[in-house]
Structure 1
Amino acid sequence: MYIQTVLGRIQPEELGVCACHEHLYIDLSRVKKNTDTCLQNLDLVVEDLKVFLQYGGKAIVEMTNDGMGRNVKKLVEISKLLDLHIIASTGCYKDPFIPQEKINWDRDEFAKWMIDEIENGIDGTNIKPGVIGEIGSSFNEFKPVELELFYGAIEAAKTTKLPLSTHTTLGTLALEQVELFIRENLPLHQVVIGHQDLNEDDEVVLEVLSSGVYIALDTIGKENYRSDMSRMKSLLYFLERGYEDQILLSSDVTRQSHLLSRGGQGYSVVLRKFIPALREMGVLETTIEKLLVKNPQKAFSIRKEG
């Protein structure tokens, strides 16, 4: 069992405090037509990450994939500079962010391409991804190309044993994603269902958890969507119901304005604000250790030798 970082394999226990869903070098401006969504200033990102490190952060799962401005050489630079574990991604996001040359691909083409990146490296480098993600569905629907992408990602996950992490638009379609994974016989311990803090229906999220997948409460600090106090209440409810072994935390920084230097929440918001508030509410240190360290260790481990 190992975790694949941009600098090579590490043992799961080396991972440390991990943010399960972030973006360190991303550009969504092609679709969003907003320069704020181009976050490619390494100096600004590195300064922000230093605060993450000061609060005990050790690892980032970097969910930027093909079509989102992915550049794994930049991730290697950041990793070496800060002594930060970074896990890179293979796959595509969702319509309309899928690259033009892949928009008509079927599941076999997606699977073959992802498996090639996993086995040989990304974009002609020898830098290998450690996760298939973020694989996305649209708001309350799978677009046809997204379904092909999901099937391809499932095949790649079954073949390579890499974890598969998803995007749910505003938290929707999580159950449908889980049902798809079950139908296709993908082991659910390999799956992280994303953005479940954007689904305010706690009972639906509990149903997702009951399947055995991990869920990511990974837009912490984005209070324009939902208050962090509301997120916290949902998390406490899930913990009371016994799901402390299946929950991951992050903040999904994607914009320049999300950085501390620009008045945003920063990569450190979970460690700086959310975790202290959980402590004040009486959440045990053993539980916090699971949310930040032990659950990511398990979720992003590749259970395969060779």
Structure 2
Amino acid sequence: MYIQTVLGRIQPEEMGVCACHEHLYVDLSRIKNNDDTCLQDVELVMKDLSEFKKYGGKAIVEVTNDGMGRDATKLAEISMKMDLQIIASTGCYKDPFIPEDKKQWNRDLFAEWIVEEIEYGIGETRIKPGVIGEIGSSHNEFKPIEMELFFGAIEAAKLTMLPLSTHTTLGSCALEQVELFQKENLPLDHVVIGHQDLNTNDKIVIEVLKSGAFVAMDTIGKENYRSDQDRLQSLITFIESGYEEQILLSSDLTRKSHLRANGGQGYDIVLRSFIPALKERGISEKIIKKLLVKNPQKAFSIRKEG
């Protein structure tokens, strides 16, 4: 069992405090037509990450994939300079962010390409991804190309045993994703269902947790979607329901304006603000260690040798 980082394999216990869903070098402006969504200033990102480190952050799962401006060499550079464990991603995001050269692909082509990246590295870099993600469905629906992508990602996950991390648009389609994984016999303890802090229906999230999947509460600090107080209350509900070993935390920064230097929440928002609020509500250090350390170790471990 190991975790694949941009600088090579590590043992799970080497990972430390982990943000489960972030973007350090991303460009969504091709589709969004908004320069704020091009976050590629490495020096400014590293300055922001220094605060994440100051609060104890050690690892980041970087879910920028093909079509989102992915650059594995930049991630390796950040990892070396910052002494952070960074996990890179393979796969594609969702419609309409899928690259032009893949818009007509079927599940077999997606699976073949994802497996090739996992086995040989991303492009010419030889840097290997450690997660298939973020694989996305649209708001309340799966577009046809997204279905092909999901089936391809599932096949690749089965063949390589890499964890699979998803995007749910505004928290929707979480149960539908779970049902698809169950139907295709993908082990749910190898799946992270994303953005479930944007799903305001706690009962649905609990159904997802009952399946055995990990749930990511990974847009913390984005209060334009939902207040962190509401996120906090939902998280406490899930913990009190007995699911403390299946929940992951992060903030999903994608914009220049999300950085502290530009008045945003910064990569440290979870550790700086959200965790102290959890402690104030009586959540123990033991449980917090599960959320930040133990659960990511399990979720992102690759359970095979070779």
Category of TM-score, reference length = shorter chain:
over 0.9
Amino acid of the structure 1 residue aligned with 2:159: T
Which residue is equivalent to 2:167?
Answer: 167
Matched residue SS, 2:19: strand
Q: Which residue of 1 aligns with 2:86?
A: 86
Q: Which residue of 2 aligns with 1:268?
A: 268
Matched, 1:251 2:251: yes
Match of 1:17 in 2: 17
Superposed, 1:1-306 pairs within 5 Å as: 1-306=1-306
Deviation at 1:124, TM superposition (A): 1.4
**Which letter does structure 2 place at the counterpart of 1:267?**
Y
Q: Which amino acid aligns with 2:274?
A: F
Deviation at 1:125, TM superposition (A): 1.4
Aligned residues between the structures: 306
Cα-Cα RMSD: 0.3
Distance 1:176 1:285 in 2: 34
1:302 Cα offset (Å): 0.2
Question: C-alpha distance in 2, partners of 1:98/1:122?
Answer: 17
**Secondary structure in 1 matching 2:159:** helix
Instruction: Report the alpha carbon displacement of residue 285 of structure 1 after superposing the two structures with TM.
Output: 0.4
Shift of 1:108: 0.2
- Aligned equivalents of 1:82, 1:32: Cα separation in 2: 30
Query: How many Å separate the matches in 2 of 1:55 and 1:48?
Result: 12
Give the SS at the match of 1:70: coil
How many Å apart are 1:4 and its aligned residue?
0.1
* Dislocated runs of 4+, deviation >6 Å: none
Measured after TM superposition, the shift of residue 99 of structure 1 is: 0.1
- Matches of 2:94 and 2:210 in 1, distance apart? 26
State the shift of 1:107 in Å. Answer: 0.1
Q: Aligned partners of 2:211, 2:35: CA distance in 1, in Å?
A: 39
- Helix, strand or coil at the partner of 1:162: coil
1:208-231: CA deviation from partner (whole Å, max 9, x where unpaired): 000000000000000000000000
Matched position secondary structure for 1:86: strand
Q: Give the superposition deviation at 1:123.
A: 1.4
Q: In the TM superposition, what is the alpha-carbon distance from 1:293 to its structure 2 partner?
A: 0.1
TM score, norm. by length of structure 1: 1.00
Superposed CA offset, 1:39-59 (max 9, x none) = 000011000000000000000
SS at match of 1:192: strand
Q: In 1, distance between residues paired with 2:232 and 2:162?
A: 30
Question: What percent of counterpart residues are identical?
Answer: 73
Amino acid of the residue matched to residue 101 of structure 1? D
Deviations 1:141-182 (A, max 9, x none): 000000000000000000000000000000000000000000
Partners of 1:55 and 1:123 in 2: CA distance: 34
Q: Which amino acid aligns with 1:151?
A: F
Equivalents in 2 of 1:4, 1:122: separation in Å?
13
Q: What per-residue deviation string (whole Å, max 9, x for no partner) do you get for residues 104-144 of structure 1?
A: 00000000000000000001111000000000000000000
